[in-house]
A and B are shown apart, each in its own frame.
Chain A
């Protein structure tokens, strides 16, 4: 536990003193701000029955932040250490592979949640100026953040895996962006292929992250996306550990 917490603290600290950390957070804040503007314009034009969280989600910026932000946060985790050689110092200390991977993953996940804080700010602003308290239900907001956390942990785990594969941060970011975007595109593939019925259509429905997240934004917790995100996270973290271990088989 001590090793895990020590690693987590160092990783988070190093993210917060790096320019890439601030660029990522500033970029996410800018995109969240843009989606807030879009939302306000929509609200002025017409009344809607959607919860504010779902309206946020309906703007295209949500996925932009998720798909671009996570590779930027995770690309340095292992690649930088391998490049600078500190990985050797780290792995010759009495630490377990899982401790290292979990410490880095948790730090990246915290950094990722930090990136979403401006959204919470926007929601608080809406709540303050909208007369109807039902428009921003704290429970719905909480569920949306659970969704953000779950999806995020999956994308961060993908990022860990991408970063463990290489010593080049750009390659790491590209790999995790490619895998992440691939998963995102799966959401539309079912419809594009004209699949309406049958087991293939069902599989694509399960994998449709866009629709799954929409449920969270509405305030609905469905167990299927919870299971999907959790298993995908564990799977990619497992792959990361295997990649780290692979130096022992070569």
Chain B
């Protein structure tokens, strides 16, 4: 397998009727990654995916998939990707096997190969029991499986899934998520979602988009660390508030703090440290030295949701 990046997006811009939908976006996706494209509705996720999948062209910038340019070599690119559009459109009047056979033949598989792949994907996605059912009569979860099975028929190197869990119930979401994780063992997946916990559970890298721009990218853990600079440390200590205040004010690592009375002898300190500092050992040693009882010491961990809100807030502030 080629070692180069599977997707290279450089300065991608797309205008719709003069309005920018995607603005100067650049990113790279390496083979074997599960990359989540995050953002609210209208952030430019679907547009970006459609451009990578060769459905619409970019206004400017370049996109290469497995080294092929999406504008000048679309067929080479299409052969290498399995794309499931938003809302997973399917022909309602066709039976499951009929649809998958049609798609396999359309993708250029020989009759024999199509039959083999059909057997494999129907098995893989648990579609054996509904092979003969009309797609229009299937539940949404099963339809999603049909869409995924279709995307995988020609064994693409790259899977592009636009909101694959949209509109599913929690059980279906869980099973689709598991399917995607299983798929990612052998191929690269680019998946978009506006449901953040989902990306946190599925992806090993995220790209956060907002108003057509790429605001942040990295592993969820990395992003968390970058932002944890501003995270708060909570400590509940059995010590008088004014004594505590004196000690905390004297500490150079602390940016700001707040003390509220908890109960009995305990006071609750909410401390914001300076960037890059982990205050927890410092607080622990302080309590130990002074012989204070410490009943809680924690640092608030950012969820992807917090990261997302912070990143987009910063953006809005800068604009304002």
Check B78 against A94 for contact (C-beta < 8 Å): yes
In Å, the complex CA distance between A56 and B217 comes to 72
Across the interface, name the chain B residue whose C-beta is closest to A103: B106
Q: Is A18 positioned at the interface, with any CB of B under 8 Å from its CB?
A: yes
A85 to B91 Cα, complex, angstroms:
10
Q: If the complex has contacts A14-B94, A93-B103, A94-B108, are A88 and B85 also in contact, measured as CB distance less than 8 A?
A: yes
Q: Are A86 and B89 in contact (CB under 8 A)?
A: yes
Q: Interface code A1-34, partner B: CB below 8 Å = 1, 0 otherwise?
A: 0110011011001100110000000000000000
Which of chain B's residues 86-123 have a Cβ closer than 8 Å to chain A?
Answer: 86-87, 89-94, 102-103, 105-108
* Residues of B in contact, count (CB < 8 Å): 29
Known contacts A88-B55, A92-B83, A248-B57: does B89 contact A3 (CB below 8 Å)? Answer: no
Q: Which residues of A contact B56 (CB under 8 A)?
A: 247-248, 250
Judge whether A93 and B78 touch: CB under 8 Å.
Answer: yes
Known contacts A3-B108, A6-B106, A85-B87, A91 near B93 by CB under 8 Å:
no
Q: Which of A196-210 contact B (CB under 8 A)?
A: none
Across the interface, do B89 and A18 meet the contact criterion of CB distance under 8 Å? no
Size of A's binding interface in residues, CB under 8 A: 24
Contacts between the two chains (Cβ within 8 Å), count = 64
**Does B79 touch A at the CB level, under 8 Å?**
yes
- Of chain A, the residue at the smallest CB distance from B77 is A94
Is B83 within 8 A of A6, CB to CB? no
By a CB distance below 8 angstroms, the chain A residues around B234 are none
Please give the distance in Å from A47's CB to the nearest CB on chain B. 50
CA distance A20 to B124 in the complex (A): 36
The answer, yes or no, to whether B53 is at the interface (CB within 8 Å) is yes
Is the beta-carbon distance between B106 and A17 smaller than 8 angstroms?
A: no
Q: Does B248 contact A (CB under 8 A)?
A: no
Q: Is B75 in contact with chain A by the CB < 8 A criterion?
A: yes
Chain A residues whose CB sits within 8 angstroms of the CB of B269 once the complex forms: none
A250 to B57 Cα, complex, angstroms: 8
Q: A248-B56, A248-B57 are in contact. Are A92 and B78 (CB under 8 A)?
A: yes
User: Given contacts A3-B106, A6-B102, are A92 and B54 in contact (CB under 8 A)?
Assistant: yes
Across the interface, name the chain B residue whose C-beta is closest to A5: B105
Give complex CA distance A90, B83 in Å: 10
Alpha-carbon distance between A85 and B90 when the two chains are bound, in angstroms: 8
Complex CA–CA separation, A2 to B92 (angstroms): 23
**How long is the Cα–Cα vector from A1 to B84 in the complex, in angstroms?**
25
Give the residue among A3, A86, A93, A250 with the most B Cβ atoms within 10 A: A93
Interface pairs (18), CB distance under 8 Å: A3-B106, A9-B102, A10-B91, A14-B91, A14-B94, A84-B91, A85-B87, A85-B89, A88-B55, A88-B89, A89-B83, A89-B89, A89-B150, A92-B55, A92-B85, A93-B107, A95-B106, A250-B16
| 7 pairs of A and B residues whose beta carbons are closest in the complex | A85-B89, A94-B78, A6-B105, A86-B89, A88-B85, A94-B75, A92-B53
* Chain B interface (Cβ < 8 Å from any Cβ of A): 16, 50, 53-57, 75, 78-79, 81, 83-87, 89-94, 102-103, 105-108, 150
Q: A2-B108, A10-B102, A88-B55 are in contact. List 18 more A-B contacts (CB 8 A).
A: A3-B105, A6-B102, A7-B106, A9-B102, A13-B94, A14-B93, A84-B92, A85-B89, A86-B89, A88-B50, A88-B89, A89-B150, A90-B106, A92-B81, A93-B78, A94-B78, A248-B56, A248-B57
